[in-house]
Amino acid sequence: MKIRIKFAKRGAMKFISHLDVMRYFQKVIKRADIDIAYSEGFNPHQIMSFASPLGLGLTSEAEYVDIEVHSTLDSKTSLEILNKVSVPDMPVLSYKLLEDNATKAMTLVAAADYYVKFRESYEPDFDFNEAISSFLSKDSIIITKETKKSTKEIDLKPLIYDFKPYENGYFLKLAAGSVDNLKPELVFSALYAENNRSLEDISLLIKRIEVYGIKETDGKEEFIPLESFGEDIA
Amino acid sequence: MYKLALPDEILLQVEKPARYIGKEVNMVEKDLKDVDVRFAMCFPDVYEIGMSHLGIQILYDMFNKMEGVYCERVYSPWVDLDRLMREHNIPLFALESQDPIKSFDFLGITIQYEMCYTNILQILDLSHIPLFSKDRTEDDPIVIGGGPCAYNPEPIAEYFDIFSLGEGEMVYEDVIRIYRENRACGGDRISFLEKVAAIDGIYVPMFYDVTYNEDGTIKEFVPNNKNAKNKIKKTIIMDLSHTYYPQKPLVPFIRATQDRVVLEIQRGCIRGCRFCQAGMIYRPVRERNIDYLKDMAVEMIKNTGHEEISLSSLSSSDYSKLKELLEFLIAELKEKGINISLPSLRVDSFSLDVMSKVQDIKKSSLTFAPEAGSQRLRNVINKGLTEEQILTGCALAFKGGWNKVKLYFMLGLPTETVSDMQGIAELSEKVAEEYYKIPKGERIGKVSVTASSSFFIPKPFTPFQWAAMCTKEEFLSRAKVVNDRMKEMLNKKSIKYNWHEADVSVLEGLLARGDRKVSKVIYNAYKAGCIYDAWGDFFNNEKWMQAISDAGIDLDFYTTRERDLEEVFPWDFIDIGVTKDFLKREWNNAKNENVTPNCKMQCQGCGAATFGGGICFENKN
């Protein structure tokens, strides 16, 4: 059986790296005595895969991990047990059963929502709302991205699905996943560059709010939160 | 909102910020309203090392079980954060509450190795606590030291208010009680130190004066305060099956050096190797009850989620119910996907059978610690491991499918000759030859023998405390003798030889047997920028040599000088149970190449029976 677990990463937990979150979660599963399946071999490991790594310094209300189990209790009880053995700032939010042939969370990821705020005393010195509209009205937003081996040009425009002021900060819906992953800090630094400024790394407080996959219903493609691909276990 | 001592700007520019935020699984949280004594427990090295230390976890559990006491942790900030904290004048803080250490009642520092001494000064300095005990005021925590290096506390005596000698489980309830009583009646720092100086196992350095002879040796070590005892007896816990042990050990987010459950099966060692300090200071041997250990193992695995458990002791093969314990662990834990990591067991058919069940033979290697290259020298050091035992063990293991062997030696041991040194190469060769005695068709690849040698450092409270230590040059020339002989061996291509750094060994020698005068060296080195000396990347021998000469210290006096039998040692005021007479007898036996039977075979009257328990005591009654 495949299970998809959603959890949050709040407060000081933003300083725990993705690799350490993976190790942490293996121990959560052990402490909760989840009947997880193991790989074959002399050093078997838990069958577990994470949807999308979160950078150091970001908080999140939507981290996803898929696991494979031999048997399971209902969602409500499983949540209770998992939260009892979790640290308070990384609560487990949902525990859903997937279909046996379900696509891995990692492969599904297509978009993510972010809430971004400027850190105190790092606010922009120009009209930011105005800058967003002129930024988004362009036909293309070309930036050069440096990778280890080369530099390549990418157009951010088609990867920004939404970008607007929201509750003392900004809401963004951006392309995510293995093909076109766009980080919110890249959008902000492009916007700063557009205004002849450079963005200091530390300026932004970023929270991931949701991660989506694409689901086809009635011939129409829709962004669906990863947890909605599964069902609660009664 | 959460509270952190360090702002995001700093946490996001240092390596592994998770070292500084606390909040790990099983961290103890207490409401400060219910707390009247705050204890900061420190391991003066980086988080991943400190978090791996069992003693801290035991004491953390113990203190936090005391009502009104809140024990928190603090480790050495890594060099990147060290620099930033100095630059921004940020005081060192405890992980749990993130409050400054300076605001605590106690700062307890465990001292596990000599090369952490500059890190102790780093901790004090970053906490804004005066380095010297004499300069501290009522605003400063009481600074307590403990751990193996406290058995010669003199080189660091001036930096501590108190040392606890022995096992902490025994003494801290009294220390806390006296602290509260003293505070309740309006007593100050000095009156607390006077009261606490009366407890067994407590040493208050400022209450003692040392005078020296013209030749630099100690003339007298006498109390200058009526509350201070002449002799301080270590405290140990006799019943290890009814005491504190953390059922819910802390589980760090970042990978600690020990990323596993650690099960301490016994304390002390029956073997009596003459170079080994642990083998003397932890006497008598005390085992934990097997049922207690079984329950603990299951409970700790459940509460941590660790996927590995490891047994801890000085010599696990000597635990009387080892077979039953291992069989239980394999039956109970193996199918739950828990790995069992074995300490270096004596290699025999039983241990090989166990190892084949819990380890991947192809990847694992056999470990032997002959310590010396010849039987003669092994008799000198009382290492009861014969060449025949090693070769028989290897033969068995090679037939069982192993083909990697590690051999550990020491160079510079008392009475060592060129043929003893060459013996290291020759024994390595014999091990390799043993492999090729197996018929060709049954061998799995080539054999790999790794021989490593460390340099012998005489330690206090060992029969070798009188011995001379080699100079750096002498150490290196002995390593060359071994290496040259290695090159003449038939199977030299299967043998790898490596040796430790010699300069750091010499310094360890100075600090291990140093007196109060040596404290100036540590101060100078720290002021010159030395920290993390236990880390090869940071150790700076030139700065240390400068620190020694600036302090007017003669290195050879402390290292290469053989001591007179009647010399007063800086640590003589400590009573570890084992007597100086016994150690002298053993020093003499060493020189005469006499082997002394182990504690299980025959009691040697070392003195540790004074604690009224342990294996030697029980066998007599």
The ranges assigned to domains in chain A are: 2-107, 109-222
Q: What is the reported pLDDT for B620? A: 64
| Rounded mean pLDDT, A126-153 | 89
**What pLDDT was estimated at residue A178?**
84
Between CA B530 and CA B120 the distance in angstroms is: 11
**How high is the pLDDT of residue B1?**
62
Output the pLDDT for position B346.
81
Beta pairing class for B261-264 and B308-312? parallel
Q: What is the mean pLDDT of residues B438-467?
A: 94
User: What one-character-per-residue DSSP string does B110-122 give?
Assistant: E---GGGHHHHHH
Query: Model confidence at B612, in pLDDT bands (50, 70, 90)?
Result: confident
> Residue B308: what are its φ and ψ, rounded to 5°?
-150, 145
Q: Which residues contact A231 (CB under 8 A, 6 or more apart)?
A: A96, A97
Residue of B nearest to A31 (CA): B305
Query: Which residue of A31, A33, A92, A207 is the best one to mutate when testing the B interface, meaning the one whose CB has the most B CBs within 10 A?
Result: A31
Going by C-alpha positions, the residue among A179, A9, A18 that lies closest to residue A110 is A179
Q: Which of B9, B21, B302 sits opposite A31 (nearest CB)?
A: B302
Q: Which two tokens stand for residue B319?
A: 């635990």
The pLDDT confidence band at residue B336, using thresholds 50, 70 and 90, is confident
Q: Does residue B484 carry a pLDDT above 90?
A: yes
Burial B328-350, CB ≥16 within 10 A → b, else e = bbeeebeeeebebebeebebeee
Are residues B274 and B319 located together in one domain of the fold? Answer: yes
Give backbone dihedrals phi and psi of B366, rounded to 5 degrees, phi first: -90, 145
Q: pLDDT tens, B96-108?
A: 999 999 999 999 9
Looking at the fold, whether B229 and B279 belong to one and the same domain comes out as no
- Note whether residue B539 is domain-resident: no
Q: Which two three-digit tokens encode residue B260?
A: 């596993």
Q: Which of B194, B213, B233 is the last residue of a domain?
A: B233
Contact A87 B337 (CB under 8 A): no
Burial B17-37 (b: 16+ CB within 10 A, else e): bbbbbbbbbbbbebeeeebeb
- Is residue B12 within 8 angstroms of chain A, CB to CB? yes
Neighbours of A144 (CB within 10 A): 8
For residue B570, being part of any structural domain is answered with: no
- Tell me if B255 and A23 make a contact (CB, 8 A cut-off): yes
Closest residue, chain B, to A16 (C-alpha): B18
CA angle (B592, B598, B603) in 5-degree steps: 100
pLDDT score recorded for residue B212: 98
Asked if pLDDT for residue B477 goes beyond 60, the answer is yes
Least confident among A87-91, B78-82, B320-324, B467-471: B320-324
A39 and A99 Cβ atoms separated by less than 8 Å: no
* C-alpha count within 13 angstroms, C-beta hemisphere, residue B92: 29
Judge whether B253 is closer than 8 Å to chain A, CB to CB.
Answer: yes
Residues B219 and B270 in one domain: no
B571 lies in a domain?
Answer: no
Q: Do B18 and A17 touch (CB under 8 A)?
A: yes
Examine the domain organization and report whether B305 and B346 are in the same domain. Answer: yes
Between CA B102 and CA B120 the distance in angstroms is 15
CA proximity to B27, closest of B244, B246, B249, B302: B249
pLDDT in tens, A106-123: 999 999 999 999 999 999
CB A192 within 8 A of CB A199: yes
Calculate the average pLDDT of chain B: 95
Query: Over 90: is that where the pLDDT of B334 sits?
Result: no
Q: Cβ contacts (< 8 Å) between B251 and chain A: which residues?
A: 27
* A15, A24, A38: residue with CB nearest B21: A15
**Strand B37-43 with B106-110, pairing:** parallel
CA-CA distance, A23 to A39, in Å (whole number)? 16
B434 in the same domain as B297: yes
**pLDDT digits over B577-589, tens only?**
999 999 999 999 9
Query: Which residue in chain A is spatially nearest to B6 when comparing CA positions?
Result: A12
Q: Please name the residues in contact with B284: beta carbons below 8 A apart, sequence gap of 6 or more.
A: B268, B577, B599, B608, B609, B611, B613, B614, B615, B616, B617
The residue type found at B451 is A
Res A65: pLDDT: 98
- Do B251 and A27 make contact, defined as CB atoms within 8 angstroms? yes
Mutate one of A15, A36, A38 to test the B interface: name it (highest B CB count within 10 A): A15
Does residue B251 belong to the interface with chain A, where contact is any CB pair within 8 Å? yes
- pLDDT for A174 equals 97
Q: Is residue B394 part of a domain?
A: yes
Here the CATH number for the domain that contains residue B150 is 3.40.50.280
The verdict on whether omega for the bond into residue B370 sits within 30 degrees of 0, i.e. cis, is no
Contacts of B253 in chain A (CB under 8 A): 16, 20-21, 23-24
Alpha helices in B363-471 (DSSP H): 375-381, 387-399, 418-436
Would you say the pTM of this structure is higher than 0.90?
Answer: yes
Yes or no, beta carbons of A12 and B9 under 8 Å apart: no
With beta carbons less than 8 A apart as the criterion, state whether B357 and B345 touch: no
- Which residue segment(s) compose the domain that B307 sits in? 261-516+584-608
How many A/B residue pairs have CB atoms within 8 Å?
Answer: 67
Over residues B229-244, the pLDDT tens digits come to 999 999 999 999 988 8
| pLDDT value of residue B151 | 97
Q: Is pLDDT of A225 > 90?
A: yes
> Do B213 and B283 share a domain, yes or no?
no
Inter-chain contact B2–A12, Cβ cutoff 8 Å? yes
pLDDT of residue A147: 76
Are A31 and B304 inside 8 Å of each other by CB? Answer: yes
Q: Which pair of structure tokens corresponds to residue A52?
A: 């999308």
pLDDT category of residue B572 using cuts at 50, 70 and 90? very high
Same domain for B205 and B302?
Answer: no
DSSP state of B568: B
Average pLDDT over residues A158-185: 94
Chain A partners within 8 Å of B11 (Cβ): 15
CB contact at 8 A, B205 and B137: no
Return the bridge partners of A142, or none: A155
Classify A2-107 by CATH class: alpha beta
Residues B415 and B379 in one domain: yes
* Smallest Cα distance from B315 to chain A, Å: 27
Quickly list DSSP for B214-260. Answer: TTSSEEEEEESSTTS-SSEE-B--S-TTSS---SS--B-SSPPSS-S
Let me know if residue B455 belongs to a domain.
yes
pLDDT score at B58: 96
Identify the pLDDT of residue A194: 92
Residues 298-317 of B with CB under 8 A from A: 301-307
Residue with tokens 């000599």, as numbered in its chain: B114
- What residues of A are in the B interface, CB distance below 8 Å? 11-13, 15-17, 20-21, 23-24, 26-31, 33, 38, 42-44, 46, 56-57, 85, 87, 89, 119, 201-202
How close B334 comes to chain A (CA, Å)?
11
Q: Which CATH number does the domain housing residue B403 bear?
A: 3.80.30.20
Residue of B17, B302, B305 lying closest to A15 (CB–CB): B17
- Residue B614 pLDDT: 82
Cα(A106)–Cα(A110) distance, integer angstroms? 9
Residues in B touching A11 (Cβ below 8 Å): 1-2
Distance CA B364, CA B114 (A): 31
Question: Cα(A105)–Cα(A112) distance, rounded to whole angstroms?
Answer: 13
What is the rounded average pLDDT of the residues B518-545? 97
Tokens 């060459």, located at residue: B422
**Can you read off the two tokens belonging to residue B601?**
């075979």
Residue B421 reports pLDDT greater than 90:
yes
- Among A229-233, B16-20, B398-402, the minimum mean pLDDT is found in B398-402
Mean pLDDT across the stretch B269-286? 95
> Which pair of structure tokens corresponds to residue B177?
């009680």
Are B180 and B301 found together in one domain? Answer: no
First-to-last alpha carbon distance for chain B, in angstroms, is: 61
b/e A23-48 (16+ beta carbons within 10 angstroms → b):
bbbbbbbbbbebebeeeeeeeeebeb
Asked if A26's CB is within 8 angstroms of B305's CB, the reply is: yes
A31, B337: Cβ pair inside 8 Å?
A: no
For residue B306, being part of any structural domain is answered with yes
Whole-number Cα distances in Å, B272 to B380, B579, B598, B599, B616: 12, 14, 6, 8, 13
* B536 vs A: CB within 8 A: no
Q: Residue B453 — φ and ψ, nearest 5°? A: -125, 135
Percent of chain B with pLDDT over 70: 99
Judgement on whether residues B379 and B466 belong to the same structural domain of the protein: yes
Give the Å distances, CA to CA, from B199 to A161, B215, B571. 71, 34, 18
Shortest distance between the Cα of B155 and any Cα of chain A, in A, equals: 39
Q: What secondary structure letter does DSSP report for A102?
A: P
* Lowest mean per-residue pLDDT among A91-100, B152-161, B435-444: B435-444
pLDDT at B621 over 80: no
Q: Quote the minimal CA–CA distance from B255 to chain A in Å.
A: 8
In a domain? residue B549: no
Enumerate the residues of chain B whose CB falls inside 8 A of the CB of residue A119.
Answer: 8
The minimal CB distance from A16 to the residues B18, B307, B360 is found for B18
Q: Which residue of A has its CA nearest to B1?
A: A11
Rounded Cα gap, residues B411 and B374, in angstroms: 12
Q: How far apart are CA B575 and CA B566, in angstroms?
A: 17
Q: Quick check: B304 and A27 CB within 8 A?
A: yes
CB-CB contact of B234 with B220 (8 Å) = no
- Domain count within chain B: 2
Distance CA B241, CA B233 (A): 23
CB contact under 8 A, B8 and A27: no
Mean pLDDT value across residues B177-189: 97
Residue to mutate among B84, B253, B254, B335, with most A CBs inside 10 A, is B253
B464 domain-assigned: yes
A25, closest residue in chain B (CA to CA): B305
For residue B366, give how far its alpha carbon lies from the nearest alpha carbon of chain A (Å).
19
Tokens 């802390």 correspond to B250
Buried b (16+ CB within 10 A) or exposed e, B509-530: bbbbbbbbbbbbbbbbbbeeeb
